[in-house]
Each structure stands twice: as C-alpha cells, then as structure tokens.
Amino acid sequence: LIGAVLMIYGVSFLKKGENVVVSYANIIKSKGAVAMIVSSLLMAIGRIIDRKFTISLSPLGYSVGIYLVISTYILVYGIASGSRISDYTNLIKQKWLYLILGGICNAYSYVALLKAFNYFGVSVAEPLSMLSVFVTMFFAKIFLRERIGVRLLAAVLLFVGSILIY
C-alpha cells in the first residue's frame, strides 16, 4: 500500500500543481504525460508477454524476433501515415552512427532485461530496471542541458514505490 501511494504521489510531479488533485488535472490535459502513462501500461503488458515466451525460448532469439516485428510494424505504419521510404533511407544515411549506437544500447539492455527475468522474475527485474531513470536524468542534464529540479524527487518516489510494491 505504501508503495502504491508513493508511486501515485510521484506521478503527480509530472505536471506539478498546488496540490495533488490539480497536478493530476494537469496530467490529464498534457498529451505528453498521457502518452507516457499509456506507454507504461503497454510496456507492462509487453513485459508479461516477453516473460511468457522467454520461459521456453532463448532471450536472444526472442529479441531478434520481436525487434523484426517492431521494425516492420513501424515501417508499415509510417508509410501508411504518409512517410516515404526515402525519408527513412535519408535518415539512415545522415544519422547512421547514432542509429547504430542507440540500436546497440537498446538491444543489449533488452536482452539483459530478458535474461534478468530468469534470475529475479518480472516482478523484481522490472522495478530494478527503473534505476535507468536516474542514469537518464543524469545524462539528460549533462548532454541535453535539461533542468531536472523537482523531477529527481519524483523519480525517487516512483523508484521506492515500485520496490515496495514488489
């Protein structure tokens, strides 16, 4: 119960208002905040599906399969939404180094998470993966010059809350 309360309070920091009710009203009005909440829900469902399949499959093989599906889906969706293949080929030509670096980081982190499921289970490995929030905030402050401020407290509340839930 304490973990859930900490998480609910921590989320209110996304669009801080004078009280929690106003903060949540601000969140509902924010397309970005709503998108992150939807993303979190879909990610949670995805993690359960991931674990279900990696019980009997290699995490590496599953990762290859899932990334092929994701890439194909996004390509088809992009073309159906009006993008051209040349948009993607130009992006690859211009930003190839960033695509390779980002791809390597994402691929290794995903395989490591799937392997962690074998040792800790989803209910422990997934909350521990929230440690990336702090690393991301640190890098965002240094490389992107983002102002972190009160978000650090929100990240601490969310992390502690997720650990207490599990």
In tens, the pLDDT along 5-43 reads 776 677 766 667 777 778 778 778 878 878 888 888 898
List the single range of 26-30, 77-81, 87-91 with lowest mean pLDDT: 26-30
The pLDDT mean for the chain works out to 85
| pLDDT over threshold 80, residue 136 | yes
| pLDDT over threshold 90, residue 102 | yes
**38: helix, strand or coil:** helix
| pLDDT over threshold 90, residue 138 | no
pLDDT at 67 (0 to 100): 93
Query: What's the rounded mean pLDDT across residues 117-123?
Result: 84
Q: Summarize pLDDT for 29-78 with one digit per residue, the tens.
A: 878 878 888 888 898 899 999 998 888 888 999 999 999 999 999 999 99
Question: Is 164 within 8 Å of 5 (Cβ atoms)?
Answer: no
Closest CA to 46 of 8, 27, 73: 73
Helices 85-120 + 31-54 axis angle, to 10? 60
pLDDT band at 150 (very low <50, low <70, confident <90, very high): confident
Compute the radius of gyration of the chain from its Cα atoms. 18
User: What SS3 string covers 94-163?
Assistant: HHHHHHHHHHHHHHHHHHHHHHHHHHHCHHHHHHHHHHHHHHHHHHHHHHCCCCCCCHHHHHHHHHHHHH
d(CA 59, CA 116): 10
pLDDT at 126 (0 to 100): 78
pLDDT at 165 (0 to 100): 64
Helices 132-143 + 151-165 axis angle, to 10? 170
d(CA 160, CA 162): 5
